[in-house]
Amino acid sequence: MAGTEPAPDVPQAVPPEALTPERAIELFKFYEAAAERAKDQAWSLTTWILALNAAILGFAFDFFSKNGEKPGFDVVEIACALVGVGLCVLLNLYVAGNGAPYFTLLDEFKQDRGG
């Protein structure tokens, strides 16, 4: 049946009695590399989301200082606040879910771009 084979780069389960020192080192390296990739992706996403939040906050303060008395001001400020909160919720979901769905999307994007 197609699709049931494990990926070639994923280590297979090894019974404890068959775990040689070489195999233990191989497994350690695999999981160490996976953790490093996860950490790098988490920091990249966190940096981007917080940078977007900072830009939105800067826009909101600038907009307030120039247009505080104009009609429609409240709508723009509420929209900025909602986008900022949405980005924070996205970051929270990412951290709470260990990033799995987002890693998949990022990996697919990288593969599509040849990266």
| 25 belongs to a structural domain | no
| 34 belongs to a structural domain | no
Q: 3-class secondary structure for the chain?
A: CCCCCCCCCCCCCCCHHHCCHHHHHHHHHHHHHHHHHHHHHHHHHHHHHHHHHHHHHHHHHHHHHHHCCCCCHHHHHHHHHHHHHHHHHHHHHHHHCCCHHHHHHHHHHHHHCCC
pLDDT in tens, 82-115: 888 888 888 777 777 665 555 565 566 566 666 5
**Whole-prediction pTM value?**
0.52
pLDDT in tens, 4-26: 555 556 566 667 677 788 887 88
Share of the chain above pLDDT 70, in %: 70
Domain of 76?
A: 45-115
When divided into structural domains, the chain yields a total of 1
| 82 belongs to a structural domain | yes
| 13 belongs to a structural domain | no
